Amino acid sequence: MYQDQVLLCKRAIEPRYGLWTLPAGFMENGESTEQAALRETLEEANAVVKIRSLYTLTSILHVDQVQMIYLADLPTPEFSISEESLEVRLFTEADIPWDQLAFPTIRNALQFYFSDRKTGHFPLRHLALSQGPQGELCCELGTHQ
């Protein structure tokens, strides 16, 4: 986050080419989850951030993945495109391209963030995301204080 804005990247890679996401990616061997978050933000947005805390932990059951999203501060508005991003920019809540977000987990995290920002309390949220019989996504939510 930078002031009242969030940093999003327009994907230059599949899956979901051309859609917006928070800087994110897979861990590499030998790195912590925090190190992976810092590295992915640098790789995708050429941005250096300071991690505050773990914010969402999502079990994505139908693809056997666990996704962790951290709250992080962008001390200065310095960022740029990379090989993995067509565009990188800061968005206010009103300007988020909600219909062009790459993944449901990103939408969830952003919705939680803008809601929690009103109270100044950012609890860790644990979600379980699965695919229903007709392909619809089903989500169970837990919050840890």
The SS3 assignment for 28 reads coil
What pLDDT does 139 receive?
A: 64
The 10s digit of each residue's pLDDT in 42-61 is 999 999 999 999 999 999 88
6-144 under CATH 3.90.79.10, yes or no: yes
Instruction: Determine the Cα–Cα distance for residues 70 and 76; give it in Å rounded to an integer.
Output: 18
What pLDDT does 61 receive?
A: 85
The 10s digit of each residue's pLDDT in 59-99 is 988 889 999 999 999 999 999 999 999 999 999 999 999 99
CA distances from 118 to 4, 51, 93, 105, 121 (A): 11, 20, 12, 21, 8
Residue 30 CB coordination number (10 Å): 6
Q: Which residue has the tokens 């928070």?
A: 22
What are the structural domain ranges in the chain? 6-144
The 10s digit of each residue's pLDDT in 26-41 is 999 999 999 999 999 9
